[in-house]
Amino acid sequence: VRSVKRLTLLLSAVLLGGPPAAAQPLPPTSALAAEAARTLNDPIFPGLGQLGLDVRHYDVALTVAEPGTPGLSGSVTLTLTATRPLAEVRLDFFGPTVTAVRWNGQAVPFRVDGAAQKLIVMPPTPLLPGQEARLSAEYQGTPGVILDPDLDLPVPLGWQSVPGEGPRAGANFTLSEPNGTHTFLPSNDHPSDKATFTTRVTVPQGYAAAASGLEGPVVGGNGPQTFVFTQAQPIPTYALAVHVNRFERVTAPSVPVGVNGSPVVRRDYFPVGTPQGVRTVYARTDEMLRVLSEWFGPYPFGAYGVAVVTPRLPALETATLSTMPPTASERTAVHELAHQWFGNAVTPAGWADVWLSEGFATYAELLWTESQGGDGQAVAARWHDTLARGGTRPLVAVQAGQLFDRSAYQRGALALHALRAATGDVAFRAFLHAYTARFSGSTLTTADFLTFARARTGPAGEAALRPWAESPGLPPLPPSSSSR
């Protein structure tokens, strides 16, 4: 969703008395086809996305007939618009076999390009800026496997299957950052195109599904049941959570830290048999929500909680429902919660800017430590030591292996510590509130961040950030901020 552009289109449609596209002459067909093949040209993942495509909403229906096995059947309707004429719609997809595609309800030709990981759809007429269309796809089979050795993750990305073993039930869930969502969902799989989601998951009796957003009534009685979730605020595709397991759904009183003090629904999902020690890590989520919202501004979504998985994978900040391994610490819990603001609501425009997610989430760990009476400056000093010993780089990543490295996390966090030291706590907090208010629901680059910091905190704030953003070496440890 690119709301500013949408507003501009809407305004010009109103002012000109018709859709703006009608007035523009169309380029010749061959030029349109070449245009349609352009991706978003992300410097780290150049193949992702389609230039000019804007997906506003995904209405996803997934059926998991045998939890714990990879098989899946899906049906999705995307609400699309375009910011340039598109003769073809090229969605990222490396999933099961596509059986049907419809355009505004009418069957249309399509093809799958496995090498490019695209589902290519030919609409009856090009999609023009300002027009909206509904593209539906049906698919069934086994999701693709996306391995990126550079990322150092222990599993392939995307749709996960955990076979049942002994008393443990089979389970499935998504672990998609950065580019795994298109293993199970045809999508414009790049953070610059955020969208809202309706997710319906059908599972056998005895199982439960969980997904990003607020849960609606369960559909179905005896036999398979369908769980429905509405994610009403736009999120990046990688942040979509889908979980299937034999779950205990544990609710807690809502916490009034949403926009204008609105209640944030609290629910956690624990696989049946999850030990108490694992659950204890989440006993203070309400306090974490209060502490972080004081620093960051209102919590941006309608719900928060975790879904615990059994494999020992890295935790992931899936929207409204963080995905947590059984080994996660309280510190990891704070980190994933902070990502709801930074990553899910305020989103880096491309993968090179991922420190805007990881640096802020890491800094939240320090803020939480301080709120519990701990020594934040000691935390910062440890980060600085780690970077001094292990090496570091400027904040904007230039290759996949850097996305989740020490510099994205600790150097990114120290950049914020430097800003705080330069401005004092009061101005730093005001800056964070203004930042989330300005960029929640949208995306930004590192350059946008620096511009915004200068506008809000003046040349001193920008000067504190610059060396962290740009210097090849390690700037000195910022001093502890006084509570000015």
Kindly list the residues in this chain that would bind ligand TYR in the complex (CB under 6 A): 153, 157, 175, 177, 314-317, 335-336, 339, 358, 361, 404
Burial 170-183 (b: 16+ CB within 10 A, else e): bbbbbbbbbbbbbb
- Give the side-chain half-sphere CA count within 13 A for 260: 0
Element (H, E) at 106: strand 106-107
Q: Using alpha carbons, select from 440, 46, 70 the residue that is nearest to residue 258.
A: 440
**Shortest spacing between CB 341 and ligand TYR, in angstroms:** 13
Instruction: Decide: residue 195, CB within 10 A, 0-12 exposed, 13-18 middle, 19+ buried.
Output: buried
Q: How far apart are CA 406 and CA 387, in angstroms?
A: 7
**Shortest spacing between CB 175 and ligand TYR, in angstroms:** 5
Answer for the pair 435, 82: CB distance below 8 angstroms, yes or no.
Answer: no
**Shortest spacing between CB 434 and ligand TYR, in angstroms:** 24
Instruction: Decide: residue 370, CB within 10 A, 0-12 exposed, 13-18 middle, 19+ buried.
Output: middle
Q: 302 or 412, CB closer to ligand TYR?
A: 412
* Residues whose CB falls within 8 Å of the CB of residue 233, separated by 6 or more in sequence, listed in order: 196, 300, 301, 302, 345, 441
**Shortest spacing between CB 180 and ligand TYR, in angstroms:** 7
Q: 238 or 295, CB closer to ligand TYR?
A: 238
- Between the CA atoms of 448, 453, 456 and 461, what dihedral angle is there, to the nearest 10 degrees? -160
**Shortest spacing between CB 358 and ligand TYR, in angstroms:** 6
Answer for the pair 124, 106: CB distance below 8 angstroms, yes or no.
Answer: yes
Q: How far apart are CA 28 and CA 22, in angstroms?
A: 16
**Shortest spacing between CB 403 and ligand TYR, in angstroms:** 8
Q: 40 or 153, CB closer to ligand TYR?
A: 153
Q: 147 or 460, CB closer to ligand TYR?
A: 147
Q: How far apart are CA 2 and CA 198, in angstroms?
A: 19
**Shortest spacing between CB 340 and ligand TYR, in angstroms:** 11
Opening angle at CA 340, ends 390 and 445, nearest 5: 65
Q: 52 or 143, CB closer to ligand TYR?
A: 143
Q: 160 or 423, CB closer to ligand TYR?
A: 160
**Shortest spacing between CB 231 and ligand TYR, in angstroms:** 18
Q: 54 or 177, CB closer to ligand TYR?
A: 177
Q: 333 or 418, CB closer to ligand TYR?
A: 333
Q: 169 or 315, CB closer to ligand TYR?
A: 315
**Collapsing DSSP states into helix, strand and coil, what is residue 131?**
coil
Q: How far apart are CA 484 and CA 463, in angstroms?
A: 19
**Shortest spacing between CB 421 and ligand TYR, in angstroms:** 24
**Shortest spacing between CB 415 and ligand TYR, in angstroms:** 17
Q: 207 or 351, CB closer to ligand TYR?
A: 351
**Shortest spacing between CB 205 and ligand TYR, in angstroms:** 31
Long-range contacts of 432-438 (CB under 8 A, 24+ apart): 432/295, 432/296, 432/297, 433/296, 433/297, 435/346, 436/296, 436/297, 436/298, 436/300, 436/341, 436/345, 436/346, 437/297
Cis-peptide, bond into residue 178, ω within 30° of zero: yes
* Residues whose CB falls within 8 Å of the CB of residue 157, separated by 6 or more in sequence, listed in order: 146, 147, 148, 151, 175, 176, 177, 178, 179, 180, 183
Q: 72 or 153, CB closer to ligand TYR?
A: 153
Q: What is the DSSP secondary-structure string of 7-60? A: HHHHHHHHHHTS-GGGGSPPPPHHHHHHHHT-----SSSTTSS-TTEEEEEEEE
Q: 86 or 157, CB closer to ligand TYR?
A: 157
**Shortest spacing between CB 347 and ligand TYR, in angstroms:** 13
